[in-house]
Amino acid sequence: MTEWSFCSGIYGSAWATPQMRALFADSPRTKRWLDLLALLAEVQADHGIIPTDAAQDIKAACQSIEIDAQFLAECREGYETTGHSTAGLIAAVARRCSGSGREWFYFGATVQDITDTWLMLTLRDARGLLVADLERAIAATADLCRRHRDTIMTGRTHGQQGLPITFGFKAAGWLAELRRHRQRVDDAAKRLDVGQLCGGVGSLSAMGPRALAVQKQFLARLGLREPDMSWTASRDILTEWAHLLVLSTGTADRIGHEVYNLQRDEIGELREPSVMEGIGSITMPHKRNPEVAEHIGTLARVVRANAALLAECLVHDHERDGRSWKAEWHAIPELTMAAGKAYALLASVIEGVEVRTERMHANLEASGGSVLSERAMLALAPHIGKETARHLIQHLAASARREGRPFAALLAEEREICACLTKEQLDWLIAADAQVGHCQALVDRVLSTQ
């Protein structure tokens, strides 16, 4: 992380919520490491692996430490001097032990035991934050579906007007996708909430015959499962987490991008919530840019880039590989914070999005009726054949565009069509509200599914 982005005192709020950033910051992370090490000493003493008085000394020292600038400086100095991730921490705690604790602190465990266990606890907390905003987005999207079940607008394919739909139908597509991500989070949790206490090569050799009992008690006290096997070199679970966030922020990006596009002046069907003090442009005061919707896309790109890094790190040498493992120290906090911010922003956008129904109607009318071509073709098909009908309707639609005339007028003037269809049938063909297919039924189906 750089001073420019995630940990910037000025710009940091753009990249992570305060709650999510607090999970990964130096002070709370170090405090949790100390809590884990104090608990480890306590459990080891219960099983006779270290002396009870040493465990009490370690616990007292860990609990008494204030994670201030001085303590963090000691940890940093120890790291910079030795190149070992926790040597500075070990030395700083040992200096604060008053008895035999300094000889038994961090006994039998390796750095990855503590950092992996801390990471699973932290991702559990992060998951709770992300789910809260995901559920906000789900609730707000469901409300959009209900309110705009019958709001007719143009459906677009390849960036062009296609057929009439309802805005509720569009939102229902978002809702179904968001709900799938909610299910995926719960499913991933079954694999994520697993601890690590396996020692140097994963064999728990340092803690003797009581090692498995120590592991079980230590992780149970934290609400984590025992691993079936050491996962110091098996990082599939963390890569799954990353790619779950790729999927979910991809949806956030898709929704944000739709708001971004539909806010274009030429379309103007949606607007993200306005901010009274918001500035669209320093030099163009009239602008109201979709800043939030746009930034969701930036955050989603950060997630995808870091997930790709983790995919590269699936391959480890032997039982432990610092190259692949330490890349996680950068990638996992950054992609998790970016995803959390993306969902906080998405929820706020959906909750406050301005739906401009008059512009939806105007844009539908601006097609001159050509978006109704499918129904005309299908109505003619039984009389003159589907391909013949397609060629005829395509010709009329092109003529309408070229001449600047309403498509409906050309339909009514075409003798071959008038020979097949009555005036009442023609009127029915050009009624936009009759041409949204099963949009409302599909909205109802999505809303009825939990």
Cite the active site residues: 158, 281
Question: Is residue 291 located within the same domain as residue 344?
Answer: yes
Residue 442, in any domain of the structure: no
Q: Is the dihedral of CA 253, 342, 186, 440 positive or negative?
A: negative
Question: Is residue 188 located within the same domain as residue 303?
Answer: yes
Mean pLDDT for 424-442 is 81
| Tens-digit pLDDT profile for residues 254-310 | 999 999 999 999 999 999 997 656 666 667 777 778 899 999 999 999 999 999 999
395 vs 141, higher pLDDT: 141
Residue 159, in any domain of the structure: yes
343 vs 3, higher pLDDT: 343
Q: Find the CATH number of the domain harbouring 56.
A: 1.10.275.10
Determine the Cα–Cα distance for residues 321 and 323; give it in Å rounded to an integer. Answer: 6
Question: Is residue 341 located within the same domain as residue 225?
Answer: yes
* Residue 271: strand pairing partners: 354
Question: Is residue 292 located within the same domain as residue 417?
Answer: no
Mean pLDDT for 173-181 is 98
Determine the Cα–Cα distance for residues 309 and 329; give it in Å rounded to an integer. Answer: 11
What is the average pLDDT value for the chain, to the nearest integer?
92
Kindly tell me if the per-residue pLDDT of 79 is higher than 70. Answer: yes
Please report which confidence band the pLDDT of residue 1 belongs to, taking 50, 70 and 90 as the band edges: very low
**CA distances from residue 312 to 246, 307, 308, 325 in whole angstroms, order as listed:** 15, 9, 6, 11
Instruction: Please tell me the predicted confidence (pLDDT) of residue 305.
Output: 97
Q: Which residue has the tokens 């062009």?
A: 160
Indicate the SS3 state at residue 146.
Answer: helix
Question: Is residue 289 located within the same domain as residue 159?
Answer: yes
Q: What DSSP state is assigned to residue 226?
A: P
Question: Is residue 29 located within the same domain as residue 163?
Answer: no
Residue 291, in any domain of the structure: yes
Instruction: Please tell me the predicted confidence (pLDDT) of residue 45.
Output: 97
Q: Which residue has the tokens 């995919």?
A: 311
Residue 343, in any domain of the structure: yes
Q: Find the CATH number of the domain harbouring 312.
A: 1.20.200.10
Please report which confidence band the pLDDT of residue 213 belongs to, taking 50, 70 and 90 as the band edges: very high
Mean pLDDT for 3-31 is 87
| Tens-digit pLDDT profile for residues 295-354 | 999 999 999 999 999 999 999 999 988 888 899 999 999 999 999 999 999 999 999 999
Instruction: Please tell me the predicted confidence (pLDDT) of residue 385.
Output: 92
Question: Is residue 279 located within the same domain as residue 210?
Answer: yes
Kindly tell me if the per-residue pLDDT of 2 is higher than 60. Answer: no
Residue 239, in any domain of the structure: yes
Nearest to 15 by CA among 1, 30, 29: 1
As a whole-number percent, the residues of the chain with pLDDT over 90 amount to 75
Q: What is the largest CA-CA distance in the chain?
A: 103
Instruction: Please tell me the predicted confidence (pLDDT) of residue 25.
Output: 93
Mean pLDDT for 52-63 is 97
Asked if 32 and 122 count as a contact pair (C-beta separation under 8 A), the reply is: yes
Question: Is residue 325 located within the same domain as residue 355?
Answer: yes
Instruction: Please tell me the predicted confidence (pLDDT) of residue 277.
Output: 61
Mean pLDDT for 431-436 is 72
Kindly tell me if the per-residue pLDDT of 203 is higher than 60. Answer: yes
Q: Is the dihedral of CA 238, 243, 248, 253 positive or negative?
A: positive
Structural domain range at position 91: 12-46+50-104
Instruction: Please tell me the predicted confidence (pLDDT) of residue 416.
Output: 87
Q: Which of 197-201, 267-271, 285-289, 395-399 has the lowest mean pLDDT?
A: 285-289
Question: Is residue 208 located within the same domain as residue 280?
Answer: yes
Question: Is residue 282 located within the same domain as residue 333?
Answer: yes
Number of domains in the chain: 3
Question: Is residue 234 located within the same domain as residue 260?
Answer: yes
Instruction: Please tell me the predicted confidence (pLDDT) of residue 46.
Output: 97
Question: Is residue 55 located within the same domain as residue 132?
Answer: no
Residue 448, in any domain of the structure: no
Residue 328, in any domain of the structure: yes
